Amino acid sequence: MKYALVTGSSRGIGKAIAIRLAKMGYPVLINYLKNKEAAEEVVATIIANGGQAELMPFNAADGKAIEAALDAWESAHPDDYIAVLVNNAGIRKDNVLFMMSDEEWHEVLDTTLNGYFYLTRRLLKHMMPRRRGGRIVNMASLSGVKGLAGQSNYSAAKAALIGATKALAQEVAPRQITVNAVAPGFIETDMTKDLPQEELKKLVPVGRFGTAEEVAAAVAFLVSDEAAYITGEVININGGLYT
């Protein structure tokens, strides 16, 4: 069977993506780091709606933890492989650069950028043989497209992810693997709940924050057969804030 793995899928955008992919018929691996209860709720929601899902906990910033989790899963699923990977895990540690600590810089880049590297490298070895094909979607951000003050670390990680997306797309296209990025703007999630929404909405041409489900819809399209000729692209979902 072809599985889908969504990192950071216990809440927010990752949760919406996991639920949407399950509706498309994929058995979904729900990744989380700390909030097991929330991850179990996502699994329960998917199963209640007729889908298949299971937990796959690991720290996306830890290459050894990723290897261990995938070794265990592959041993238990010898006839299956992960055909869809959504690199969604990410954290924010906002600060102006001259006050930013080493930890704030490295933790953000480790989760977003190193997590992409460790996990994608490992899964490609199962997507590439015998032209099996696959879909990789990387969750970028408005911050990585235009940069945002106070987010030098986050903007750097997401911009690097966009560059990696474009490079990898060219490497694996002959193997029928597509690699794209989605760059959300202001989306209503736990990650944005501490932002001054009413002020920020005034900056968005459509006058509101987006929803996680709107982002999930774009990911679902990029994963579908209809998007087989789309690769190396960045889909901006920002209500016209930056075009």
Contact of 93 with 141, CB cutoff 8 Å: no
**82, part of any domain:** yes
Cα distances from 238 to residues 55, 63, 95, 149, 235, in angstroms, run 30, 32, 23, 17, 10
**Does residue 84 lie within any of the structural domains?**
yes
- The answer to whether 179 and 138 have CB atoms below 8 angstroms apart is yes
pLDDT in the model for residue 231: 98
The set of catalytic residues is 154
Residues of the chain with pLDDT under 70: 130-131, 243
Q: Does residue 205 sit within a domain? A: no
- Note the pLDDT tens digit of each residue in 203-215: 999 999 999 999 9
Q: Where are the beta strands (DSSP E) in 56-169?
A: 81-87, 134-139
Instruction: Output the CA–CA distances (angstroms, integers) from residue 200 to 8, 84, 187, 243, in the order listed.
Output: 25, 34, 11, 17
In a domain, 217, yes or no: yes
**Domain containing residue 149: CATH number:** 3.40.50.720
Output the six-digit token pair for 107.
Answer: 């933790």
In a domain, 202, yes or no: no
- Look at residue 96 in the predicted model and tell me its pLDDT: 97
Predicted confidence at residue 164, as pLDDT, reads 98
Look at phi and psi of residue 4 and say left if phi exceeds 0, alpha if psi is from -120 to 50, else beta. beta
29 contacts 52 by C-beta, under 8 angstroms? no
Task: Report the b/e string of 205-219 with b at 16+ CB within 10 A.
Answer: eeeebbebebbbebb
154 lies in a domain?
Answer: yes
Per-residue pLDDT at 243 = 63
Does 101 map to a domain? Answer: yes
Domain count, the chain: 1
